[in-house]
Amino acid sequence: MNSRVVMAIDLDRCWGCRTCEVACKQELGLGVGPSPMKVLETGTRMIDGVLHRDFIPTLCQHCDQPACLTACPVEAIVREEDGTIQIRQEVCNGCGICVKACPFGVMEEDGEGGAPAKCTLCRERREGGAPPSCAQHCIGRVMTLIDEDLFEVWRRGRYAWKTGRIAYVSDKWASLGQALKGNHHVA
């Protein structure tokens, strides 16, 4: 698992079914409460007289310069060789500083003083050769885990926004811009 990976998310394929949310929570054994994967509705629009709803799956971005890693006072958050950001459960003191530091709001405290709930891109599954649970169970095949070197080929000239190990793509600039609320660079 030494190559750097990218979770490519095709926003044009997501219809908001939230299967990825359920798959993630089941994989991590989480009940009601924190969820490392959330599908947000970003708006509605009319296309040729038909109402369309836009969604964006949100998860840990596994940032290139992670604020959570820098903020952690006990160095419980680490970057793995594949570029993903992981929490060392045995080191975490549950202080929640990393949760407050995350600019994307995708880490949540567990409510019991333990390590926050955060996407791991299903590290254990990947070590066993399986894709992340969200990608495997997504009905629309919205998410694809690929080698970073293949991302530009996979995207096929579509608009993209990438930070860390997560990349959002869309055929429509407006769709991508709306989903990201215009706060980030879109290539």
Half-sphere exposure of 155 (CA within 13 A, CB side): 23
Position 182 scores a pLDDT of 42
pLDDT band at 178; cut points 50, 70, 90: low
Amino acid type, 140: G
- Containing structural domain, residue 115: 5-179
Tally of domains within the chain: 1
| pTM confidence score | 0.86
58 pLDDT more than 70: yes
pLDDT at 2: 53
CATH number at residue 66: 3.30.70.20
pLDDT at 175: 56
Q: Specify the DSSP element, H or E, that contains 177.
A: helix 173-179
Pairing of strands 166-170, 5-10: parallel
Residue 185 maps to a domain? no
d(CA 147, CA 150): 6
Give domain status of residue 184, yes or no.
no
H-helix or E-strand containing 41? strand 38-47
The pLDDT confidence band at residue 47, using thresholds 50, 70 and 90, is confident
Average pLDDT, integer, range 154-181:
78
Residue type, 106: V
Residue 27 falls inside a structural domain? yes
Q: In the prediction, which pLDDT does 53 show?
A: 87
Q: What is the pLDDT of residue 16?
A: 95
- Domain membership of residue 61 (yes or no) is yes
